[in-house]
Amino acid sequence: MLGLMILCGLLANAAGFGLLLWEIRSNRDRYKGWEGRKIPLSFWLYVCGMIVLAMGLTIFVYSFYKENTFLFTLKRVLWLALLWPIGYTDLKTLRIPNRMVVGGFAARALVLAAEFLFERDALRAAALGEGIASLSLFLAAAVCALLMKNAIGSGDRKLFLVMGLFLGLEGTWGAVFLSLLISFGTAVVLLVTRRKSRKDVIPFGPALMAGSYLSIFLTGM
Cα–Cα dist 55/61, whole Å:
10
Amino acid 11: pLDDT: 97
Domain residue ranges in the chain: 2-219
This model's pTM is above 0.85: yes
Residue 214, number of CB atoms within 10 A of its CB: 17
The average pLDDT across 15-24 equals: 96
Q: Taking Cα atoms as reference points, which of 82, 50, 57, 52 lies closest to residue 214? A: 57
- Compute the Cα dihedral for 58, 102, 83, 167 and give only its sign: negative
Query: Which of these ranges, 3-12, 104-113, 146-155, has the smallest mean pLDDT?
Result: 146-155
Cα–Cα dist 148/93, whole Å:
21
Asked whether the predicted pLDDT for residue 151 surpasses 70, the reply is: no
